[in-house]
Structures are given as structure tokens and as C-alpha cells.
Amino acid sequence: MESECDQIRSGAQASLHGILVADFSRVLAGPLAAMFLGDLGATVIKVERPGTGDDSRAWGPPYVGSMSTYFTSANRNKRSVTIDLADPADVRLARTLATRADIMIENFLPGKLAQFDLDPASLHRDNPGLVYCSISGFGGGEAAFAPGYDFVVQAVGGLMSVTGQPGGEPTKVGVPVVDVLTGLHATIGILAALRERDRSGLGQHVEVNLLSSSISSLVNQGAGYINGTGTPVAMGNRHPSVAPYETLRAKDGPLALAVGNDRQFRALANALEMPELALDHRFRTNPDRVTHRDELAVQLESALKMDTAANWARRLQEAGLACGTVNDIAGALALATRLGLNPVASFPASAQTPPISTLANPLRLDRTPVRYERPPPALGADSKAIRGWLESDHTELSDWDVPTGT
């Protein structure tokens, strides 16, 4: 089968080839959305403040060379230009970029860009086909001017209340998951608007906010609450509606085990050489097991303590059950590599950046694979070329094929 690299070399055109993205966003949700579009072949121009650039450039350690790894996580496949919105001449360049773009992404406080005629209404007069995506913390209403940071939104959005140990302090997820989800929602909205533009020729304003993304991520927990079953609470690694669906102690450490139906539970009981568990009235059906989950855990751990988590994972997987050891990040990457999933995309050193590795895009497209063509850029790496293009009369992307850093 032809590999992704072979497809690229043979001239397979990327899904978003010819699409220009003006990325006026910073930190994570917006930059992630722009990076996903860049992975799919769009040309992404990242607009940054002179001197400091994206806030996340300073969010370290750790660093790769002088660049924070936080910044590298969301900014591959982009060109960087510095533009000062306090300078009227630079504002004109910013407007030129927006009027030439197919997509604009921004996460300024709502209404802020109207000062520079960079708001949707102003830009649509000159560029009616523009897909304009605004990302905010709390939408454009009463809390429009409240800055949105993932940690705070996890707190006020309910996610922390169902994360952590029972009776313990509410706990955030270990990564900025709300920013990641919001970036994905933004990408979905942008692609939907781009597809509709194919029919109508018109762009539209796409709006997403961190609070709505956080609340939508509550899925089953939120559905239980709004349908009158009470307020969910933190349950550690347990599932509110399925058992066993938790971590259980094996001989040397925890084993993650997820049993989704009664047939699987019978298979588990047989694999543990405890077939009587499937006949016990306390454990016969999933509602029974949820009711008696503490007693069930005692029974299961009495068997699991006889062997290591890794050995049990292997045996139970062979029995068709979903289970695994609790890996750290190194273990997770090693597993994905062993399974042929290629979890890391690496870039060699360039004149402006050291060798940089990023986590790979999880999409697999058999005809138009994702691409890793540009490392995360140094601040203003492409300013000269981009400014020259914006000041020229050559408006098409086909008129501009500039290597990074020139």
C-alpha cells in the first residue's frame, strides 16, 4: 500500500490546498484549529505581536531551543508575520490579509477587532466569501469581556466537579482539554461553513466559546442531570452507569478494565476462573453490578492480585475484553509506536529552529493525507515575504510560493 510520504511525492493534493487561513489567535484553542487546517494543506499565516508574539511562546519551561514546547504543540505548518495593530499602516496590512483570506480565526475579546475594521461585518463587505471564526471564553453576552482560560472554564463549567476522588478536592483534567475540544469544534464549524460556501459563494461568522464546549463535553453526566437524576459527583476512575468500569488493583499496580455488557462480564468471570460471579444475583446484570460495585471490586481484586497488571491485560484482551495497564506518556507513545500509529511528527533543524518533534495529527485520509511541511515558526520568520506580498498587487496564492524563513 502506498505510504503517506509516497502519496505526497507522487503529487497527491492536500484536502485544503489553495485555502488561505489568517490566524489572528493565540495560546491554544484558535492556534490548534489553524494548525489542523494547515495539516490538511491550507496555507496558514500566523499574525503575532512584534517583540513578544503569541503568549504561549513564553510559557516554559520546557523549551526546544528558545521556543516553548507549549507553543510548538499548536503551531506547525504555519508562517509567522509580526503586525502591530497600534500602527495604522500595519492595520491596513492586517485588513489586506483578511480580505485575501478564505478563513480568519481570532480570539480577541468580543468586539475588540471592530476598532480596526477587522470584525465580521466590516470584512464581509470587502470579502463576502470569508469564513470568520471567533473563539471566546464565554460568548458575546454578559461575560463577553471575561478572559477565558481552560482551567477556569473547567471549574465554572462543571468538569472539575466530576473529576477526582470521591469526597476530594475538585480536580482539573491533566491537559487543557476544554481548549482542545473548542479548537476541534472551531475546526468543524469552519469546515461546515467552507462547504456551504461552495454552494452559496458566501462566508459566514462561526462562533464557539470555551464554556459551551465544556458543558457539551459533559455528555452522559450532563444528560443524567438535565433529565432529573440528580447532580453527578466525582467518582474517581469509576463510571456512574457501568460496572466494572474502573481501575482495579493487580499484583503490582492498577489495571484499567471496562466491561460494557453482560456477555463481556461472563467472559471476564470465565477468564478469572470465577464463573460463579456471572451467576451471582448481585452481579448478573449491569444494573445489579452498578448497585453492588463495591462488593464486585473486592471479588475481582481477589483474583487480580494473583498476577501482574501487564499479564492480566494480555490474558483479558485475548478473551475479548477492553483493558490495559495505566501508562505514563512514555508508555503511551511506545504503545502507539508499536501498533504502527506513528504518534510523533518530527522536523529537522532549519536556519532558525532546532530539530522539533510534535504530536502527530490523528487523522488518516487515504487519498489526501495530512502533511507536516513546516516546523513551528520563529517569531516573524516570514514577515519580510508576507509583508511584500500584502503590499503587492499579486493577490492569489499561486503568485506566492515562499519557503519558510525567507
The answer to whether 30 and 385 are in contact (CB under 8 A) is: no
Integer Cα distance of 350 and 327 in angstroms: 33
Q: At what angle do helices 88-100 and 383-391 cross, to 10 degrees?
A: 80
DSSP category for residue 359:
E
**Cβ neighbours, 10 Å, residue 316:** 21
Q: Are residues 167 and 79 in the same domain?
A: yes
The answer to whether 192 and 199 are in contact (CB under 8 A) is: no
Does residue 237 form part of some domain?
no
Largest CA distance in the chain: 79
Integer Cα distance of 153 and 178 in angstroms: 8
Integer Cα distance of 278 and 266 in angstroms: 5
Q: What is the pTM of this model?
A: 0.92
Q: Are residues 179 and 275 in the same domain?
A: no
Does residue 405 form part of some domain?
no
The answer to whether 252 and 304 are in contact (CB under 8 A) is: no
CATH number at residue 293: 3.30.1540.10
Does residue 378 form part of some domain?
yes
Q: Are residues 306 and 357 in the same domain?
A: no
Q: Are residues 16 and 133 in the same domain?
A: yes
Q: Are residues 36 and 76 in the same domain?
A: yes
Torsion sign across C-alpha atoms 212, 213, 217, 219: positive
Question: Could you tell me which residues are beta bridge partners of residue 134?
Answer: 106, 207
* C-alpha R_g of the chain: 25
Domain stops at, among 325, 359, 387: 325
Task: Compute CA distances 34 → 188, 262, 267, 273, 309, whole Å.
Answer: 12, 44, 45, 52, 40
Q: Are residues 62 and 186 in the same domain?
A: yes
Does residue 136 form part of some domain?
yes
Q: Are residues 74 and 202 in the same domain?
A: yes
Does residue 233 form part of some domain?
no
**Cβ neighbours, 10 Å, residue 269:** 21
Q: DSSP letters of 232-263? A: ----TT--SS-SSEEEEE-SSSEEEEE--SHH
Q: Are residues 202 and 123 in the same domain?
A: yes
Query: Residue 146: what are its φ and ψ, rounded to 5°?
Result: -85, 125
The counts of H helices and E strands in the chain are: 15, 13
Integer Cα distance of 212 and 401 in angstroms: 39
Domain stops at, among 295, 325, 355: 325
Does residue 180 form part of some domain?
yes
Does residue 230 form part of some domain?
no
Task: Compute CA distances 40 → 61, 101, 166, 317, whole Å.
Answer: 30, 16, 42, 35
C-alpha cell at 179: 481548549
What is the predicted pLDDT for the residue at 5? 40
Integer Cα distance of 290 and 286 in angstroms: 6
Q: Show the CA angle centred on residue 170, arms to residues 207 and 146, nearest 5°.
A: 35
CATH number at residue 180: 3.40.50.10540
Does residue 276 form part of some domain?
yes
pLDDT by residue, tens only, the chain of 406 residues: 334 443 333 457 899 999 999 999 999 999 999 999 999 999 999 999 999 999 999 999 999 999 999 999 999 999 999 999 999 999 999 999 999 999 999 999 999 999 999 999 999 999 999 999 999 999 988 877 788 899 999 999 999 999 999 999 999 999 999 999 999 999 999 999 999 999 999 999 999 999 999 999 999 999 999 999 899 999 999 999 999 999 999 999 999 999 999 999 999 999 999 999 999 999 999 999 999 999 999 999 999 999 999 999 999 999 999 999 999 999 999 999 999 999 999 999 988 889 999 999 999 999 999 999 999 999 999 999 999 999 998 877 766 554 443 3
Query: Residue 160: what are its φ and ψ, rounded to 5°?
Result: -65, -25
Q: Are residues 392 and 255 in the same domain?
A: no
The answer to whether 345 and 360 are in contact (CB under 8 A) is: yes
Integer Cα distance of 195 and 33 in angstroms: 16
DSSP category for residue 361:
P
Task: Compute CA distances 161 → 130, 175, 214, 215, 354, whole Å.
Answer: 39, 16, 12, 12, 41
| 382 counts as catalytic | no
Integer Cα distance of 56 and 169 in angstroms: 28
The answer to whether 353 and 79 are in contact (CB under 8 A) is: no
Q: Are residues 19 and 139 in the same domain?
A: yes
| Active-site option among 54, 119, 150, 179 | 179
Q: Are residues 18 and 124 in the same domain?
A: yes
**Number of domains, the chain:** 2
Q: Are residues 103 and 251 in the same domain?
A: no
Residue 46: give the domain boundaries.
4-217+342-399
Domain stops at, among 265, 299, 325: 325
